[in-house]
Each structure stands twice: as structure tokens, then as C-alpha cells.
Chains A and B, each alone.
Chain A
Amino acid sequence: MEQEKPRLAVFKFASCDGCQLSLLDAEDQLLAVAGAVEIVYFPEATSRMEDGPYDIALVEGSITTLHDAERIQQIRKDSKYLMTIGACATAGGIQALRNWADTDEFMRAVYAKPEYIQVLESSTPISDHVKVDFELRGCPINQYQLIEVIQSLLAGRKPRTPQHSVCLDCKRRGTVCVTVAQGIACLGPVTQSGCHALCPSYHRGCYGCYGPAPQSNLVSLATHMEKEGDSRTEISHRLHNFNAYAPAFRNESQRLLEQDGE
């Protein structure tokens, strides 16, 4: 008898669909992955929709509504491994910028009849709501890392994804430092690798789409940027991006804004 394949489900919360699209964009590996697992729930790709339990749940998007806050609880109960994919699910996403604003005022600015819509005051990562087994960073995620994580979970080992900063990747690929050579502000020193140091190779500073690298020294980088003549508001703006609500970026931008307010 054929052995049962692991059951894979893909769920979406507030997001742009880009991270789950990474799975469909793994064209060369897509049919192989689809052969190794049974995709039992993935509304973007298939009309087949089965209930749990699931072996692996991939979750994209942040929690921004009461309904979604309840839905993630059920998904956690139904799933053996729950893995978040992307900046929205791991750090609240760009929509977390409202965590610093008046959400009601935001709603009034966008909708003629905000009373038709109910949203939470904040946009929060999945780990604020349920236990997460692995968080895959990126806005968008790197499809090779995604394939690695799925394969590792299938093999029952820990995923191998790098934890170093973007700077190291620039050195590896021989990209001349945009800060040193051109004075361009770059979040590379504090941002986790995953993009192969893409932006500097296009002559622009890293804008932090993989979020803070472990043990990154935000204060040191901000101090350097201030010395270069950037205002604290400008620096905090740089951190208020796709991973604004990730703790390290959040704390530093908060510190800068408070200093500015003094």
C-alpha cells in the first residue's frame, strides 16, 4: 500500500498573496513538491478544500480582524507544524504601521463608510496569537528557503536558513558597500540575510525586507546615520517599513522618536 503523504495546507490572512505565490513560482520544483506532499488546502491554487488535521500549515499574513484572531486558533489546533511565511505573518507587515496611528482615522481616510468594516486597532504577527514552530522571513520570502523548510519538516530536521546580516552577503558576492563608497543609507548591517544582498547590487540601500538579524546593533547603526546627517525622524522612517513591528526595529524607532520628542 502506498504510504500516506504529509498533508500540507496554506492559509492566508492580511497580506498581498506574494509569499504563497512563491510556492507556485517555484516552477521547476512545484510539481516535485506537489508530488512529495498532499496539498489538501490551498485556496489560491486548488478548489480542493479539506478539513484538518494538517501535518504542515503555512500561514501568510497578519492578524487584523477579530474573525482572523479566532481563525488562527483553529488552524493551530488542526496543525502539527505551523510555519509562518513572510514579513506580514512574522512581524505584522506594512499594515502594522497603523499600530502607531489612530486606526479609526485611517479607516475614515480610506472608506466612505467605515462603519461597514470591522478591524482590530493593530496588525500583529501570528506568534502574538499562537505558538509558531518556524518563522520564515522576507517580504517576499525566498522560494529556495521555503522549499528547504518544507523539505526539512518532511525529513524531521531543523530548517537551515541563514541568520547572518545582509552585509556578509554583499562581501560574498563582491558588491561594493553602498554606504562606504556612495554614502547611501543602508539597513544591511542590521537586516537578516535571505535576499542575497539584492538592493546594494542594484546600487541602492537595503530597506530591511527580511527584518532584523539576531544580535544586530540598531543603536550603533542609527548613531552612524545621525552622524551622516540624517534626522531621527528619517532614520525611524527607514525602520517603519515592511518589518516595522519586529521587536528590534520597533524598539529602536520608538527610542529615536522619543528622543526626537524631548
Chain B
Amino acid sequence: MADRTIKVETLTRVEGEGGLYVRLRGDAVDEVRLEIYEPPRLFEALLRGRPLEDAPDITARICGICPVAYQMSSVHALESALDVTASAEIRRLRRLLYCGEWIESHGLHMHLLHAPDFLGFDSGLDMAKQFPDEVNRGLRLKKHGNQLVDMLGGRAIHPVNVCVGGFYRMPRRDEFQKLIPDFEWGLNAAVETTRWVAGFEFPDFETECEYISLSHPDEYPMNEGFMKTSSGDSIEVSYYEDEFQERHVPHSTALQAIRKSTGRPYLLGPLARVNLNREQLSPTARQLADDVGLEPLCKNPHRAIIARGLEIVHAYEEALMIMRGDHPTGKPRESYSYQAGEGMAATEAPRGTLFHRYVIDEAGKIVKAVIIPPTSQNQAQIEADLKQWVTHVMSDDEQETARQCENLVRAYDPCISCSTHFLNVKIERT
């Protein structure tokens, strides 16, 4: 058979812009490229010279789906440079804000972007005609996530209430209380949603890779912790750039990361987090993981949708615990004075670990910013998994092959705007 290529010019139902290119030599896969052509926006460069207080507002604009993650990594990193320790109250509220983003982002991905692949629809909107209850339930979950971010952050997209040191203003008691009944409904609905997706037909497909996420002795990882790996390593966040390296490849505006010690790619995100921190899930989520039969170390990337469901359940349960607890008191933010220094932090964006490092000067201006988003770190692993997947789904119907390739890419929920970069499948037989 002649050599050929399969191309997906524009990958759909992902955030940002990219394509996929597969070259076959006969039936053997010769090359797979996840091509990210999202135009670069050069955030790390444009932050230089700006007051450090601008970082949470500006870096939020890297991604409209996970602005909270950018705000959280930036404030933690800058507080580290300023030797500021946030109070327990602020810490609790930051986790609450993050719960909102996980519910919103996972809710969007599960219902509008990913579930249609399992049920054979072009979109969540088309799927709604046949599965109105499931889609409406999903939209309601997503809305709860947005409402929570809106309540604490001021608005769901690009919140305004986050600042270095804490928040501009504390939420009011009534703002918490009015969300509680909806969240009680939502917790049950999230359990139902997770049971629903766990019943999908999953392809029999496993990949070998190293799973990495933050981990914390006392809680499910979100804002803080050390880097835990499925190979058994523990890495302090301050060694991030020593352990992981971003490489620039010609076919992508997003950088691709590898682990320096192995030279191999790795995977971040909900599947990695659940694989590595299952015991830290909230009681309902942990029980549910057992009930739906999620393997202790799940190696099937298509099943990441179940991990997302579990994380939504966890986020509801944790949010309810915080909102039902004592109402936060005390000052909304810690004060600080400027000092020259360097600070870094990693937090768990819905798609995986997001690392920021800043160098600041004595006048509080940013001298250097380094941002390593989850999608650019996952990209090399996605390519490696695709290479394996293509051999499973290769058929004479190239459109079908391309569609199957896209399905796998969507399983990772790549945020290409994040990678400061969307996607298209091209299959080429030369």
C-alpha cells in the first residue's frame, strides 16, 4: 500500500487552535504530530517591567476556561518571592474558588466536549436532543461552578477579586448560604453524572506513561504540595525546572516538556491526580471510584472522563464543607512590602499542574516570568499515545480514522489557548 497521511486541519471541541498530522508508511505509523498553530501571545515577555500586582489579572487572560488556575499559581509564586504566608482563612477560600473552577471546567469538558464522542454526536447541543436530562444536568453543574467562581471572584471568566496576599474583599455570609441548597443538589447530580459516564463503552486501550501531579499529606492536591510521580519519586516544586524541560519543536507554537532524568514525556491532569491521590478524595468520591470500578492505576486515557466526574464530586463535597463551616473572618489579604527576590509555585489547573516562576525587583516590578502550562507538558505524551492509538483505529475510511484520533486527543481535554496555543487531524501515507 502506498504511503499516506491523515490530517485533521482543525481539531474541534478543544480550547484553542491546533491540528493533527499522521504520516503512514504502508500500514506502519511513521510520524504523529500534534500541531498547535494558535498564535503565540508572548505573555512571559509582556509581563516584564509590570507591577507584580498585575500578574493575577494578566495571566488569567492566558485561558478563559481556567483563569483561576493562572491566578492561583501566580499569587502563590509571588507570595513566595515576597515571603508572605496567606492565612488559613485565605487558603480555605482559595481552595473554594478552585473547586468552582474544577466543577465549571470539568462540567464543560464532560458534557459539551467529550461525552458526544462516546454517544456519536457532533456536539453537546446535538446530544441534548436525545439526552436532554443528562445534558441539562451537566449544564446545571457547569453553572454551579461558574456561580461559585462568580460569588468569590466577582465573575466566572477572569475573576477580579484575587490579589497577591489574598482577596480584595471577603465574601459575605449570605453569599455562601444562598449557594448551599444548589450545591447539595449538585453533589447528588455529580454522582449520577459520574455513574452515567462510567457506563460508556470504552475502547480496550492502555498506554504506558509516567503520571505526575501535586500531592499533599492532608488533602486532595489543588493549591500546594510536592510533585508525586507514578515511578515513586517525590519532587519539591522548587526543583521543577531542574526535573522537567520544555523543548521547542518546529511544528508547534506550544513547547513540549519531558522529564530530564528519563528523557521521556509524562502525563498530568485528572487521571494522574486520581491515580496518585485516590485516598485523598472526599469520602463520597472515594466510595464512588470503587463503585464504578475505576482501576487503582487506570492506564486508559479514554477513562479520564470518569476521573473528571470524581473530581467534580470531590469539589462539590469540599465546597459544601467549606461553605457550611465557620464563615471566614479576619482581613481579606496579607500586607507585604517589596523586596527583590524570586518565587515559584505550582497548582493543579483542571488539566494538570501549572507552574509559575517570577523574579521581582526591589520596586515590586516583574523582571522575569516563566509559565509552564499543563497542555504544553502533556503534548509530547499525547503524541506518543496517538502513535499507539493510530495502529488500533487505522481503517480504509480515513475520515473515520481521523475522527478516532480526534476522540483520543479530546480525552486529555487539551487547552490549546493555555499552551499559549487548537488542533486539526491530517493522516498522510507517502
Count of chain A to chain B residue pairs whose CB atoms are closer than 8 Å in the complex: 179
Q: Determine whether the beta carbon of A209 is less than 8 Å from that of B158.
A: yes
Write out the residue numbers on chain B whose beta carbons fall within 8 Å of the beta carbon of A106. Answer: 42, 45-46
Assuming the A-B contacts A64-B39, A98-B42, A98-B45, are A18 and B122 also in contact, with contact meaning beta carbons closer than 8 angstroms in the complex? no
B residues 125-171 in Cβ contact with A at 8 Å: 125-126, 128, 135-136, 139-140, 142-143, 146, 154-158, 160-161, 163, 168-169
Q: How far is the CB of A181 from chain B (nearest CB, A)?
A: 14
Write out the residue numbers on chain A whose beta carbons fall within 8 Å of the beta carbon of B250. Answer: 113, 116
Write out the residue numbers on chain B whose beta carbons fall within 8 Å of the beta carbon of A34. Answer: 125, 128
The stretch of A42-50, A159-167, A211-219 that contacts the partner chain: A42-50
Q: How far is the CB of A220 from chain B (nearest CB, A)?
A: 24
Q: Determine whether the beta carbon of B42 is less than 8 Å from that of A18.
A: no
B429 at the interface (CB under 8 A from A): no
Write out the residue numbers on chain B whose beta carbons fall within 8 Å of the beta carbon of A28. Answer: 143
Q: Determine whether the beta carbon of B248 is less than 8 Å from that of A112.
A: yes
Measured CB to CB, the nearest residue on chain B to A86 is B64
A34→B122 CA distance, assembly (Å): 14
The bracket for how many chain A residues form the interface is 35 or more
Q: Determine whether the beta carbon of A46 is less than 8 Å from that of B125.
A: yes
B324 at the interface (CB under 8 A from A): no
Assuming the A-B contacts A17-B63, A110-B44, A117-B40, are A30 and B248 also in contact, with contact meaning beta carbons closer than 8 angstroms in the complex? no
Q: Determine whether the beta carbon of B46 is less than 8 Å from that of A24.
A: no
A19→B158 CA distance, assembly (Å): 10
Q: Determine whether the beta carbon of A45 is less than 8 Å from that of B123.
A: yes
Measured CB to CB, the nearest residue on chain B to A111 is B248
A13→B37 CA distance, assembly (Å): 10
A222 at the interface (CB under 8 A from B): no
Q: Which of A21, A48, A209, A237 meets B51, CB within 8 Å?
A: A237
Write out the residue numbers on chain A whose beta carbons fall within 8 Å of the beta carbon of B158. Answer: 18, 139-140, 209
Write out the residue numbers on chain A whose beta carbons fall within 8 Å of the beta carbon of B225. Answer: none
Write out the residue numbers on chain A whose beta carbons fall within 8 Å of the beta carbon of B249. Answer: 116
Write out the residue numbers on chain A whose beta carbons fall within 8 Å of the beta carbon of B41. Answer: 14, 64, 93-95
Q: Which of B11, B13, B46 meets A95, CB within 8 Å?
A: B46
B186 at the interface (CB under 8 A from A): no
Write out the residue numbers on chain B whose beta carbons fall within 8 Å of the beta carbon of A64. Answer: 39-41
Write out the residue numbers on chain A whose beta carbons fall within 8 Å of the beta carbon of B48. Answer: 109
Measured CB to CB, the nearest residue on chain B to A106 is B45
Q: Which of B10, B126, B143 meets A27, CB within 8 Å?
A: B143
A95→B16 CA distance, assembly (Å): 16
Q: Determine whether the beta carbon of A203 is less than 8 Å from that of B61.
A: no
A198→B160 CA distance, assembly (Å): 8
Q: Which of A39, A48, A242 meets B61, CB within 8 Å?
A: A242
A113→B62 CA distance, assembly (Å): 21
A17→B105 CA distance, assembly (Å): 13
Assuming the A-B contacts A110-B42, A195-B155, A203-B169, are A94 and B58 also in contact, with contact meaning beta carbons closer than 8 angstroms in the complex? yes
B12 at the interface (CB under 8 A from A): yes
A209→B158 CA distance, assembly (Å): 10
Which of B45, B139, B154, B249 counts the most chain A CB atoms within 10 A?
A: B45
A residues 130-176 in Cβ contact with B at 8 Å: 139-140
User: When each residue 44-74 of chain B gets 1 if its CB lies under 8 Å from chain A and 0 otherwise, what string results?
Assistant: 1110101100000110011111010000000
Q: Which of A44, A68, A207 meets B13, CB within 8 Å?
A: A44
Write out the residue numbers on chain A whose beta carbons fall within 8 Å of the beta carbon of B46. Answer: 94-95, 97-98, 101, 106
Q: Which of B15, B65, B160, B253 meets A199, CB within 8 Å?
A: B160
Q: Determine whether the beta carbon of B65 is less than 8 Å from that of A21.
A: yes
Write out the residue numbers on chain A whose beta carbons fall within 8 Å of the beta carbon of B62. Answer: 16
Write out the residue numbers on chain A whose beta carbons fall within 8 Å of the beta carbon of B268. Answer: none
Q: Determine whether the beta carbon of B126 is less than 8 Å from that of A109.
A: no
Write out the residue numbers on chain A whose beta carbons fall within 8 Å of the beta carbon of B125. Answer: 30-31, 34, 39, 45-46
A119 at the interface (CB under 8 A from B): yes
Write out the residue numbers on chain B whose beta carbons fall within 8 Å of the beta carbon of A113. Answer: 248, 250
A7 at the interface (CB under 8 A from B): no
Q: Determine whether the beta carbon of B61 is less than 8 Å from that of A49.
A: no
Write out the residue numbers on chain B whose beta carbons fall within 8 Å of the beta carbon of A68. Answer: 39
Q: Determine whether the beta carbon of A21 is less than 8 Å from that of B12.
A: no
A217→B266 CA distance, assembly (Å): 53
Q: Determine whether the beta carbon of B17 is less than 8 Å from that of A109.
A: no
Q: Determine whether the beta carbon of B42 is less than 8 Å from that of A107.
A: yes
Q: Which of A27, A39, A117, A198 meets B139, CB within 8 Å?
A: A27
A residues 82-139 in Cβ contact with B at 8 Å: 93-95, 97-98, 101, 103, 105-107, 109-113, 116-117, 119, 139
Q: How far is the CB of A179 from chain B (nearest CB, A)?
A: 15
Assuming the A-B contacts A44-B13, A139-B61, are A21 and B169 also in contact, with contact meaning beta carbons closer than 8 angstroms in the complex? no
User: When each residue 227-246 of chain A gets 1 if its CB lies under 8 Å from chain B and 0 otherwise, what string results?
Assistant: 00000000001000110000
User: When each residue 403-416 of chain B gets 1 if its CB lies under 8 Å from chain A and 0 otherwise, what string results?
Assistant: 10010000000010
Write out the residue numbers on chain B whose beta carbons fall within 8 Å of the beta carbon of A25. Answer: 142-143, 146, 156-157
Known: A101-B46, A116-B249. 19 other contacts (CB 8 A): A12-B16, A16-B67, A17-B417, A18-B158, A25-B142, A27-B142, A31-B135, A31-B136, A43-B17, A45-B125, A47-B116, A47-B406, A64-B39, A98-B45, A105-B45, A110-B43, A139-B158, A140-B158, A202-B161
Residues of A within 8 A of B (CB): 12-19, 21-22, 24-25, 27-28, 30-31, 34, 39, 42-49, 64-65, 67-68, 93-95, 97-98, 101, 103, 105-107, 109-113, 116-117, 119, 139-140, 195, 198-199, 201-204, 207, 209, 237, 241-242
Pairs A-B, 9 closest by C-beta atoms: A18-B64, A46-B123, A106-B45, A140-B157, A47-B12, A109-B45, A16-B64, A95-B41, A27-B139
7 A-B Cβ contacts within 8 A? A28-B143, A30-B125, A95-B41, A106-B42, A109-B44, A203-B168, A204-B163
Residues of B within 8 A of A (CB): 10-17, 37-46, 48, 50-51, 57-58, 61-65, 67, 108, 112-113, 116, 122-126, 128, 135-136, 139-140, 142-143, 146, 154-158, 160-161, 163, 168-169, 247-250, 253, 255, 403, 406, 415, 417, 422
